[in-house]
A and B are shown apart, each in its own frame.
Chain A
Amino acid sequence: MSDVLTTPKPRRNAELLLLVLALAVGIGANALAGLDQDQGLGGDFYVQTITLSVIAVAVHVALRLRAKYADPVMLPIVIALNGLGLAMIQRLDVAMDPPTTAAARQLMWTAIAAVVAIALIMLLKDHRVLRRFTYISLILSALLLVLPLLPGVGMELNGARIWVNLGFATFQPGEIAKITLAIFFAGYLSTNRDLILLAGKKIGPLQLPRWKDMGPMLAAWLVSIGVLIFQRDLGSAILFFGLFMAMIYVATSRISWVLIGLLMIAFGGFVAFQLFPHVTARIDGWLNAFDPEVYNAPGGSHQIVQGLFGLASGGLTGTGLGQGRPDLVTFANSDMIIAALGEELGLIGVSAIVMLYLLLISRGIRTALGTRDAFGKLLATGLSFTLALQCFVVIGGVTRLIPLTGLTTPFMAAGGSSLLANWLIVALLLLISDAARRPAPAAGLAGARPSGRPGRRRNSEQERMTAGAGEAEQR
């Protein structure tokens, strides 16, 4: 659909060069924090350095083997962000009394996430295979979202019922659900786009959709509202609905859908604000953060205001890694990690981090532009938008632009499920970008065979693909 040139060069060497820089950022942050805290470079430092380097090289080699044409800047950005997060978590561990061990767990989850990402890159030949699992991923998303609500398996932590106890660790299945939902929306919308576009009444400049086509929209709305009511997780509710809105807008380029969606979410949000005390408390803590009564209330604005004080004391250049007091903020290593980084790296450092996210997301959108198939386009858009929305909700919450909600900062915040999900998202984006930038194999063939006879099969792989797509349609 797009008329842009794709560069047919693998560019893996550029990636290697950037990886060295990214590792320097991650390891440098860790070393600086250790030195400034008078810890020296202990055993933890070497373990983290070696693990992070091995992960970077392993994913790089996997890309060289299986996805030669993948985007060269995504992996270095992810490694840099992951390394920065790890350094900050380690630094907060040391500052705690008694010292905590969140960094070791984070390192373990980083390794697990990277191994799963490598497995995905090695095993998944073509992202279009995922289209066959359109409806399976819908069922899977529903299961993942219901899992924390089941007695025995699910557990409640800090007021949100989004956790599953695996015995040795806890897991948030909702994090994986955002990927499966993106696959479902991409598959559904790429198949039914024309039907949705064709029908509907026209009122003024807006073309309204048919009631029949509103089904998935209502489903997405119900999922978000359900998450909000039963799991008390405002952040995920915003994320799921925002994901669907972005994808339907990209698929149809109809502004009417966005307007309808915004009205629906405004209505849902207003009712939630009236009915549920936890939503009311969040909004109150946002609007009247500096009111002493709200500040001192349990679950009040204490956390967000401490974060703001931290950011303020950081100023333009920050206090320097290991020299601030980010440990005074509750959940400094997960929800508020941006405030902790802002205190120690200052505005200059935080804008660099936001810029890294921006570059990562723009590469994801660029991948969507370059992809040749509609499913890949929608999936890449949806996945990049998930990352963008997470960043906006978290950083906006910490800086008191919007109410603070419980989403994680991608790749940086302590939390295994979020790390795993975001690494999977990047692995998928890398695979799609490989397909987008790879020179078209059919171009040479078509030139050699000017009057292509119908009935000739191009290759068995493609045949398998379309056979799969055919089955899905006959349903």
Chain B
Amino acid sequence: MSDLVVTALRFGFLILLWIMILGVVTAMRRDLVIGARSKTGAPSARQVRKHPELAAEQAPAPRVHARKLVVLEGPLAGTSLDLAASPILLGRAQEATLVLEDDYASGRHARLFPQGSRWFIEDLGSTNGTYLGDTQLTRALPVEPGVPIRIGKTVIELRP
């Protein structure tokens, strides 16, 4: 084989390697635009610069910080718990922060945890599910004060 062909093949292979990488990155591109369509629907800084009215209507209501957890319904109704900066485990298991004596709750049912200035609730794979308002949790969701959380027959709420 002539030297020219050998050299061409040599560089051709290096180009092929990088084409493969470009192909992979192109296939991933859909995943990389996560930020552009975030679920909160808040306008980006750039959009606000272009349309100043967006900022006004989207300005978030001053956030109320939750300080207390109150049990509204269920066997433990009336109990309340002060919230610190640490996560709270809800369930029937003895190691749970709030031990629910509720036959419809799982051992380790759900978890409340602070992130930034908000509290989030996450279902820990419970049998009967966790409901925030009317929706059943499929992933961690932020909890606003006053929105009921239903676990089995127990209903709890965060209070400012």
Contacts and interface: CB of A to CB of B under 8 A. Distances in A.
B23 interface: yes
B46 interface: no
Interface string A429-457: 00000000000101101110011101111
A242 interface: no
Nearest to A366: B31
A440 B129 CA distance: 14
Interface stretch (B35-43, B48-56, B57-65): B35-43
B27 to A, nearest CB: 5
Nearest to B131: A452
User: What bracket does the count of chain A residues touching chain B fall in?
Assistant: 35 or more
Interface string B5-25: 011011101101111110111
Chief secondary structure at chain B's binding surface: mixed
Interface in A295-331: 317-318, 320-321, 323
B33 to A, nearest CB: 9
Size class of the B contact interface (CB-based, 8 Å): 35 or more
A374 interface: yes
Interface string A445-475: 1110011101111100011011101100110
Given A5-B34, A359-B24, A450 B125 contact: no
A458 B14 contact: no
B107 A469 contact: yes
A359 B7 CA distance: 29
Contacts of B40: 3
Contacts of B153: 454
B135 A446 contact: yes
Interface stretch (A14-22, A54-62, A93-101, A266-274): A14-22
Given A454-B152, A469-B108, A473-B107, A25 B17 contact: yes
A356 B107 contact: no
Contacts of A17: 23
A213 interface: no
B47 interface: no
B39 A32 contact: no
Contacts of B34: 4-5
A18 B26 CA distance: 10
A320 B129 CA distance: 60
A229 to B, nearest CB: 36
B127 interface: yes
Contact of B125 (A21, A445, A465): A465
A7 B34 CA distance: 10
A197 B87 contact: yes
Interface in B121-160: 122, 124-129, 131, 134-136, 138-140, 150, 152-153
Contacts of A353: 17
B36 to A, nearest CB: 10
B120 to A, nearest CB: 7
B89 interface: yes
Nearest to B120: A1
Contacts of B120: 1
B124 to A, nearest CB: 7
Interface string A2-43: 111101000100110110011011001100100110000000
Given A195-B95, A197-B86, A466-B127, A349 B1 contact: no
Given A359-B25, A372-B139, A473-B93, A29 B125 contact: no
A14 B27 contact: yes
Contact of B128 (A5, A28, A194, A456): A456
Nearest to A457: B127
24 contacts: A3-B38, A5-B37, A7-B30, A18-B20, A21-B16, A25-B17, A32-B10, A76-B20, A194-B111, A197-B86, A317-B11, A317-B14, A321-B10, A345-B13, A352-B14, A356-B20, A359-B25, A442-B136, A445-B136, A452-B134, A452-B136, A454-B150, A454-B153, A458-B127
Nearest 9 pairs of A and B residues by beta carbon:
A446-B136, A320-B10, A352-B17, A440-B138, A454-B104, A1-B140, A450-B134, A466-B127, A194-B89
Interface of A: 1-5, 7, 11, 14-15, 17-18, 21-22, 24-25, 28-29, 32, 35-36, 72-73, 76-77, 80, 128, 191, 194-195, 197-198, 317-318, 320-321, 323, 345-346, 348-349, 352-353, 355-356, 359, 363, 366, 372-374, 440, 442-443, 445-447, 450-452, 454-458, 462-463, 465-467, 469-470, 473-474
Interface of B: 1, 6-7, 9-11, 13-14, 16-21, 23-25, 27-28, 30-31, 34, 37-40, 86-89, 93, 95, 97, 104, 106-108, 111, 120, 122, 124-129, 131, 134-136, 138-140, 150, 152-153
